[in-house]
Chains A and B, each alone.
Chain A
């Protein structure tokens, strides 16, 4: 079965700094999803990537998909305290199966 590995597991950055979170799949990706979760809350959808080389941005968050490497990266520019939370990547390894999720990256942003 497909496995997703996220790195780093946790990250502490100073406000205003840039950061990158990676998600690597053990199998071919049919769709890669990034979600954000705050403690005690559900998952908030950020972005979905499907095609190799695809890049999407939402405010200061950019995600890219490298199909050959079976990897996606999430980049946050000029981090803010509001970016703090757990970032989860999820992937589908075929067209009609539930998502498999990584274990998440816990991001803390300090002033």
Chain B
């Protein structure tokens, strides 16, 4: 079946611009996660959606970052006024029911801020 998909695969933007990254989770998965992977930093948790519960935003690095999940499916991560330090690969994952369920990852969006 279809896995997690993300778009765009690559995004180059100028400092100060806003960007939107999209994630389509596996159909039926109630939990959706966003992570960021920077060179030499490993994977960093950003935000977690589980069903209709309020999202866990504890990993968002600043108020320039926000995310929403419409209809319990597709999610959009928005970065406002991008900075060079936002350059990274943004990975989305989904799992059947959250908790300790296995997370399945998308291919990521590579963001470059010039």
Residues of A within 8 A of B (CB): 30-31, 33, 35, 40-45, 48, 50, 88, 90, 92, 95-104
Chain B 46-102 residues near chain A, CB threshold 8 A: 48, 50, 56, 59, 91, 93, 98-100, 102
Contact indicator A88/B43 (Cβ below 8 Å): yes
Chain A to chain B contacts (Cβ below 8 Å), 20 pairs: A30-B100, A31-B100, A33-B103, A41-B107, A41-B108, A42-B4, A42-B106, A43-B91, A44-B105, A45-B103, A45-B105, A90-B103, A92-B100, A96-B99, A98-B33, A99-B103, A100-B45, A101-B42, A102-B42, A103-B41
Q: Smallest CB-CB separation from B10: which chain A residue?
A: A40
Which residues on A sit within 8 Å (CB–CB) of B45?
Answer: 98-100
Q: Please give the residue numbers on chain B whose beta carbons come within 8 Å of chain A beta carbons, in ascending order.
A: 4, 6, 33, 35, 40-43, 45, 48, 50, 56, 59, 91, 93, 98-100, 102-108, 110
Q: Which residues of the other chain, A, contact B56 by a CB distance below 8 angstroms?
A: 97-98
What are the 8 closest A-B residue pairs judged by CB atoms, nearest first? A101-B43, A103-B42, A31-B100, A43-B105, A42-B105, A42-B107, A98-B45, A98-B48
Bound Cα distance A48, B102 (Å): 7
Q: How far is the CB of A102 from chain B (nearest CB, A)?
A: 7
Does the CB pair B104–A45 fall under 8 Å?
A: yes
Cα A31 to Cα B98 in complex, Å, equals 13
Nearest CB to that of A96 among chain B residues? B99
Taking a contact as CB atoms under 8 Å apart, the answer to whether A95 and B100 are in contact is yes
Could you tell me if B91 and A42 are in contact, using CB atoms closer than 8 angstroms?
yes
A42's partner among B98, B102, B108 (CB-CB below 8 A) is B108
